[in-house]
């Protein structure tokens, strides 16, 4: 474990107010983010798609903060990242997902004894409001007929699938 992350035995998430987040004796290399630190967190998920989503979200954040060590990240960095996503026309749902992944990653680091506080806490970094209505459009009658014609209704599975689609 890098020295920058060693020696913290607190496992309770706290909000980062005026907590000193970095040790003054760190070298430049120790201040850089090592993606292998995120591997254990990422690979906790069974789903390949979830692992990819987590990996991309964590990598993109740490690229944004120039590979800063997680112990140096403040809520201001997370707010700047959130605003960057919004300014680059990412949907509110995408921004909320990426921030949720960051919060979970920091909660993992806290539980694992690497940090004392979560700079991505919702109390410090509010997410943009997400729409209540689903995005997209309704299927046209032609698309519905095409979809319903898919299952082979002469088989039990096809009859089941057709019945489920009618609901």
What residue ranges do the domains of the chain occupy?
A: 3-111, 137-167
CB within 8 A of 86, min separation 6: which ones? 95, 128
Q: What is the pTM of this model?
A: 0.66
pLDDT band of 6, cuts 50, 70, 90: very low
Kindly report, residue by residue over 96-119, the tens digit of the pLDDT. 999 999 999 999 999 988 888 999
Higher pLDDT, 106 or 25: 106
pLDDT reported for residue 135: 72
Residue pair 46/52 in contact by the 8 Å Cβ criterion = no
pLDDT(79) > 50: yes
pLDDT(80) > 70: yes
């Amino acid at each position: 474990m890098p020295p920058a992350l060693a020696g913290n035995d607190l496992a309770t998430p706290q909000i980062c107010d005026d907590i000193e987040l970095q040790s003054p004796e760190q070298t430049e290399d120790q201040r850089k983010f090592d993606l292998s630190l995120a591997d254990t967190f990422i690979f906790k998920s069974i789903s390949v798609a979830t692992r990819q989503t987590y990996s991309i979200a964590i990598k993109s954040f740490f690229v944004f903060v120039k590979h800063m060590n997680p112990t140096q990240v403040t809520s201001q960095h997370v707010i700047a990242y959130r605003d960057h996503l919004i300014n680059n026309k990412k949907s509110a749902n995408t921004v909320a997902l990426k921030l949720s992944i960051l919060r979970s990653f920091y909660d993992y680091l806290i539980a694992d004894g690497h940090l004392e506080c979560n700079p991505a806490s919702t109390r410090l970094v509010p997410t943009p409001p997400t729409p209540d209505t689903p995005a997209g459009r309704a299927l046209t009658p032609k698309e519905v007929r095409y979809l319903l014609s898919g299952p082979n209704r002469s088989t039990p599975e096809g009859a089941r699938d057709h019945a489920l689609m009618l609901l």
